[in-house]
Amino acid sequence: MRKALIVKSIAAFLLLTACEVKTDAGPAASEIAVDTITVLAKSDIDYDRNGSMEKLEVRMLSGGLKEEQEPGPYTGPYWEGTFQLMLSGVDGTPLHRLDLNSTFGSEALIFAKNRAFNIAFADYNNDGYPDFTIGQYFSSNGFTYNIYSLQPEGIIVLHRDLYTAAGEYSILYEKAGTASFKNRYYDMDKGKMTETLFTWQGDKFVRTECEGCGMPRPAGDEQWLLSKETEERYGRFAENKEEELLRGLSPLDVFKFYVKASEEGDYETQYALFIKDPSHELPSYKTYINEISRDQEALERSNRCGRSLKQATG
């Protein structure tokens, strides 16, 4: 047990020092208290194809309407707090609910009051049920989006943390086949827009070069491939962030987790790999994401971090 803890501490300390993030707080904003549930967006959808239109809403359960005076991505009024997705029947009876904050890392979410918010539906994985996206501001070059689906058993998350060159809170991705879609984003390393393809394979979307085939890794990267066992453990860790799943891993395996999260743009999992120790200053997840989004240099450092770790330990 002690050895496993030391392993994690060494690896996470190196990660933290390799990917330094500034933690200066942004300008304060005035707040207008809100006591009632506020509906930010709503859309009618016959999700179960029974001929009756259900209603999907994005609702703020707690928080407030704030006013930002300083120039920036949130200049003007914006909602900040906890939010919920709720699907209701024709008679208004709630059918399904989903805590929206937990799908973005449990931090408070922000939605600009004067920015358009229209829920856009599509069937991205060709299962016959409507899917939709919800996004949050990440940088001047784009938002990060989660893809959700309205299923008979509830509202589920199909994909998380997809960095996209867009600025709306819900967007449509371009379909590229029966179960594939294209994502366009600004690549800081290349200094230009890049287009990637995601294809539904089994129970998740996988970045691919063509529909139905996996994205091959560059030659010479075999040492960074995860074994079947560690791949499964990574999947569980990325899903629930339980530190117990890191016990027994070698420092290199922890690095591989970080590299994989970096390649997938999974900043929440990257953050979860940082050391949690009173002797090491660690910003909150919200501060971590906000600072990267405001600082293009920090974003580029984050994108380069996985490759730097490969070079340092390869």
Enumerate the domain spans of the chain: 2-313
Supply the pLDDT for residue 278: 66
Mean pLDDT across 182-188: 89
**Strongest mean pLDDT among 34-38, 56-60, 232-236:** 56-60
Mean pLDDT across 163-175: 96
- Examine the pLDDT at 95 and tell me if it is beyond 90: yes
| pLDDT averaged over every residue in the chain | 79
* pLDDT tens digits for range 223-250: 557 788 888 888 889 888 888 888 888 8
User: Which segment of 21-35, 137-151, 261-275 scores lowest on mean pLDDT?
Assistant: 21-35
User: Which segment of 17-26, 46-55, 74-83, 163-172 scores lowest on mean pLDDT?
Assistant: 17-26
Supply the pLDDT for residue 44: 96
Share of the chain above pLDDT 70, in %: 71
Better-predicted residue by pLDDT, 121 or 71: 121
Confidence band, pLDDT 50/70/90 cuts, at residue 209:
low
- Examine the pLDDT at 9 and tell me if it is beyond 80: no
Mean pLDDT across 129-158: 95
First-to-last alpha carbon distance for the chain, in angstroms, is: 27
Better-predicted residue by pLDDT, 108 or 26: 108
Mean pLDDT across 165-177: 94
Better-predicted residue by pLDDT, 228 or 212: 228
Mean pLDDT across 104-117: 91
229 Rama sector, left if φ>0, alpha if ψ -120 to 50, beta otherwise = alpha
pTM over the 0.75 mark: no
Residue carrying structure tokens 């500034």: 22
Better-predicted residue by pLDDT, 187 or 311: 187
Mean pLDDT across 136-158: 95
Confidence band, pLDDT 50/70/90 cuts, at residue 146:
very high
Determine the Cα–Cα distance for residues 267 and 184; give it in Å rounded to an integer: 18
Encode 210-238: b = buried (16+ Cβ within 10 Å), e = exposed: eeeeeeeeeeeeeebebeeebeebbeebb
- Examine the pLDDT at 40 and tell me if it is beyond 50: yes
Residue carrying structure tokens 């006591």: 35
Confidence band, pLDDT 50/70/90 cuts, at residue 30:
low
Determine the Cα–Cα distance for residues 48 and 77; give it in Å rounded to an integer: 36
